[in-house]
């Protein structure tokens, strides 16, 4: 059963932030796959690439020469030198070799707030501005219109610094992404502390992020791969109950799709991981539509 807190603004859809202080736990894969699947089902989606590695942008066809010179990015939006629309591009999937426009095909219904490796400086830059923590919340409130999007997904960096705090300020729902290990599960406790601190620090500013879901990624295919993995999942379910989303099992298709710059629903539409992500979307409140 999905748990959704009140929205921050009457016209904003649910804003899901995918977060963990560790890297390589499936945040980007989940963000890109859910965004592409939802768009294919007719939902209108904005994916915010706030990760320092810009992997979501790469996965959706934007890297190097494919980005027009002078194109605004999420970093420009953060600094206030560009509006949201200036930095939004269509999410894409590769259809042939090359880096030109003809190498990619837009995914209808999927917008991307273009990532930027300059976000590595964000923690230091945000501390210089008294209202810096509100940059994304302000951009979403001011520069989206009612009905423009059905959902907003935010791909986060592997840290809990000032940039991550600013992303929590913009969010309604926090999805903690973990691998099936006790170390990862213990890390969720630190994330909960950060969320509680944000709630307290920004209580007077309509900021109410909640850890509403936990997603176990790279789950093992069988118990023979290690009983400790099953024990971790059992512990997660005991701790978080129905907040634990359907698991995503480990698959070689994930790195293959990333390398090809084809989101999983395009790279292998009938695969097990795609079916699992469909189940995740359904719990989040975006079931597959008929037709």
Residue-level pLDDT at 176: 93
CA 201 to chain centre: 24
CATH of the domain at 246: 3.40.50.300
Q: What is the pLDDT of residues 226-273, one digit of tens each?
A: 566 778 888 889 999 999 999 999 899 999 999 999 999 999 999 999
Per-residue pLDDT band for 152 (boundaries 50, 70, 90) equals very high
Residue-level pLDDT at 222: 60
Residue-level pLDDT at 127: 85
Distances (CA, A) of 10 to 46, 89, 146, 267: 17, 25, 8, 36
Predicted confidence (pLDDT) at residue 85 exceeds the cutoff of 90 = yes
Residue pair 257/267 in contact (Cβ under 8 Å)? The answer is yes
Per-residue pLDDT band for 30 (boundaries 50, 70, 90) equals very high
Predicted confidence (pLDDT) at residue 23 exceeds the cutoff of 80 = no
Window from 115-129, 175-189, 261-275 with minimum mean pLDDT: 175-189
Residue 5 placed within a domain = no
Residue 26 placed within a domain = yes
Residue-level pLDDT at 3: 45
Residue-level pLDDT at 16: 97
Q: How far apart are CA 75 and CA 87, in angstroms?
A: 9
Per-residue pLDDT band for 9 (boundaries 50, 70, 90) equals low
Domain that holds residue 202: 15-284
Residue range 156-174: mean pLDDT, rounded: 92
Closest CA to 265 of 61, 93, 26, 111: 93
Residue pair 16/152 in contact (Cβ under 8 Å)? The answer is yes
Residue 42 placed within a domain = yes
Query: Could you give the number of structural domains in the chain?
Result: 1
Predicted confidence (pLDDT) at residue 164 exceeds the cutoff of 70 = yes
Residue 289 placed within a domain = no
Residue 4 placed within a domain = no
In degrees, rounded to 5, the angle at the alpha carbon of residue 37 between the alpha carbons of residues 35 and 40 is 110
Residue 194 placed within a domain = yes
Residue 8 placed within a domain = no
Question: What are the E-state strand segments in the chain?
Answer: 15-19, 45-49, 88-94, 104-113, 151-155, 173-178, 210-216
Per-residue pLDDT band for 4 (boundaries 50, 70, 90) equals very low
Predicted confidence (pLDDT) at residue 5 exceeds the cutoff of 70 = no
Residue 201 placed within a domain = yes
User: Chain-wide mean pLDDT for the chain?
Assistant: 89
């Amino acid at each position: 059963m999905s748990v959704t807190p009140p929205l921050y603004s009457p016209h904003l859809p649910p804003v899901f932030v995918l977060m963990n202080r560790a890297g390589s736990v499936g945040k980007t894969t989940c963000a890109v796959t859910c965004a592409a699947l939802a768009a294919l089902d007719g939902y209108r989606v904005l994916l915010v690439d706030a990760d320092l590695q810009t992997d979501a942008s790469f996965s959706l066809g934007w890297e190097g020469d494919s980005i027009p010179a002078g194109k605004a990015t999420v970093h420009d939006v953060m600094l206030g030198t560009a509006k949201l629309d200036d930095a939004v591009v269509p999410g894409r999937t590769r259809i042939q070799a090359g880096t030109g426009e003809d190498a990619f095909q837009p995914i209808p219904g999927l917008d991307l707030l273009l990532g930027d490796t300059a976000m590595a400086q964000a923690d230091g830059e945000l501390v210089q501005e008294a209202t810096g923590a509100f940059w994304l919340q302000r951009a979403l409130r001011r520069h989206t219109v009612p009905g423009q999007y059905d959902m907003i997904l935010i791909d986060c960096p592997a840290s809990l610094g000032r940039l991550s705090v600013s992303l929590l300020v913009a969010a309604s729902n926090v999805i903690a992404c973990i691998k099936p290990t006790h170390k990862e599960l213990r890390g969720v406790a630190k994330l909960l502390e950060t969320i509680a601190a944000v709630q307290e620090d920004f209580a007077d500013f309509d900021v109410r992020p909640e850890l509403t879901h936990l997603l176990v990624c790279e789950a093992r295919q069988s118990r023979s791969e290690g009983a400790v993995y099953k024990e971790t999942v059992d512990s997660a379910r005991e701790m978080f109950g129905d907040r634990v989303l359907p698991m995503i099992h480990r698959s070689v298709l994930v790195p293959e799709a990333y390398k090809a710059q084809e989101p999983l629903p395009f790279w292998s539409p009938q695969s097990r991981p795609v079916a699992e992500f469909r189940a995740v979307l359904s719990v989040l409140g975006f079931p597959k539509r008929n037709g």
